[in-house]
Amino acid sequence: MRSDHPCPPDSFGEKRGSARFHPVSRNDWSDASLSEWNDWRWQLKNRVSSLEDLEKRMTLTPSEREGVQVSVRKLSLGITPHFFSLIDKNDPHCPIRRQVIPTADESVVDPAEMTDPVGEDSNSPVPGLVHRYPDRVLLLITDRCAAYCRYCTRSRLVSGASGYDFHPKLELALAYLREHREVRDVLLSGGDPLLLSDEKLDSILASLRAIPHLEFLRIGSRIPIFLPQRITPDLCAALRKHHPLWMSVHANHPREITAEAREGLARLADAGIPLGNQSVLLAGVNDRVEVMKELAHKLLLCRVRPYYLYQCDLIQGSRHLRAPVGKGLEIIEGLRGFTTGYGVPQFVVDAPGGGGKTPINPDYVIYKDDERIVFRNYQGKVFEYPETVSSDQKRPLSPFPDYEIGVKD
């Protein structure tokens, strides 16, 4: 093969852009062997999950200390050693720290906040199954995650700390799906489905695949970020049997895309699983254009398409983490046209109470009537496009003097 061939034989494993991906430091667990560190079960067993453990490893602020004490009744504290190692212990505003270490602010409940902000429980015909949209359902198959995000929409349910009665009935859910022929798409979520064993996941996916009208299966998981060691060749072999299978991962900040996460994502992509990322817009974490641009670039290098940027749901005790909707619009406006189109996620608000995901876009249309649309481009230059009409209706456009076409307004 010529050395300048456009497709070198190892192109899937090629380390393009690898200077941007760093392995995590194992300093806090220097007594662990490399094989222990790389074992996902060891990572789970050694999660940081108590005040005592946390304080052994870092100095907490008084607010964090109080937050951890309250978390036992609300949403557990749990951080994998891998993810914990990304925290800057000297920075109380560290974007990784803000996502997983509770603070006293979680006890402040805004009147607009809810325990079930997107109305999942009221759209649940069978325990563990949410049927809100016409042709697709959400199937919650576990209430556990590798680590717990302080802004989690399902805080009521995950971690088991709040006493929520979560007893998914898989057989009932399968019976519902067999009966509802309009459903063609099932999203497995939780909790994190990839916490289940390979065998269990394989069996759930096989049961779904046995239902002929289900065309499309998806998994929502934060494990490639929290616990990339879980993405083993065996797991990928189990998943690839059930194509078409897509996956939405969840990364919020570029620092989360470590060398290890990149390797896990490469395994999933090599298994033929199309990957998308869902970020949640969080104050002090990713509410700046440069941060989201760097995240988008790293995701694209990992063959992950930035898919959604979510406005943070109105979950109780999340006000300190919610950025204004205007910030989301600013970010989309700062990405669109300024970087690869594949790198621009759709900004959505999940309508409070159960209205569904609703796209919210910066306004590019300045004027529209039957004859024309006037709009601005990403640089603010104004353009006019004549509306398409049948040839017998064609007539010259009436003058429209209010905008200078091609000029920044």
Positions marked active-site: 132-133, 136, 145, 149, 152, 154, 313, 350, 357
Smallest distance, ligand SF4 to C-beta of residue 248, A: 10
Q: 222 vs 376, which CB is nearer to ligand SF4?
A: 222
Q: 191 vs 317, which CB is nearer to ligand SF4?
A: 191
**Structure tokens, 310:** 């979510």
Smallest distance, ligand SF4 to C-beta of residue 317, A: 14
Q: How many whole angstroms separate alpha carbon 50 and alpha carbon 45?
A: 13
Residues contributing to the site for ligand SF4 (CB under 6 A): 145, 148-149, 152, 154, 158, 191-192, 222, 250
Q: 68 vs 145, which CB is nearer to ligand SF4?
A: 145
Q: How many whole angstroms separate alpha carbon 356 and alpha carbon 153?
A: 14
Parallel, antiparallel, or unpaired: how do β-strands 346-351 and 216-221 relate? unpaired
Smallest distance, ligand SF4 to C-beta of residue 157, A: 8
Beta-carbon contacts of 189 under 8 Å, excluding residues fewer than 6 positions away, are 138, 139, 140, 141, 219, 220
Smallest distance, ligand SF4 to C-beta of residue 12, A: 27
**Structure tokens, 229:** 């060691």
Q: 190 vs 254, which CB is nearer to ligand SF4?
A: 190
Please provide residue 301's backbone torsions phi and psi, each rounded to the nearest 5 degrees. Answer: -65, -25
Smallest distance, ligand SF4 to C-beta of residue 250, A: 6
Smallest distance, ligand SF4 to C-beta of residue 363, A: 30
Q: How many whole angstroms separate alpha carbon 302 and alpha carbon 306?
A: 11
- The strand pairing partners of 338, in sequence order, are none
Q: 85 vs 99, which CB is nearer to ligand SF4?
A: 99
Q: 191 vs 328, which CB is nearer to ligand SF4?
A: 191
Q: What is the DSSP string of 322-387?
A: BPPHHHHHHHHHHHBTTB-GGG-PEEEEEETTTTEEEE-----EEEE-SSEEEEE-TTSBEEEEEP
Q: Tell me the one-letter amino acid at 261.
A: A
CB 221 within 8 Å of CB 193: yes
The DSSP 8-state label assigned to residue 398 in this structure reads P
Decide: residue 393, CB within 10 A, 0-12 exposed, 13-18 middle, 19+ buried.
exposed
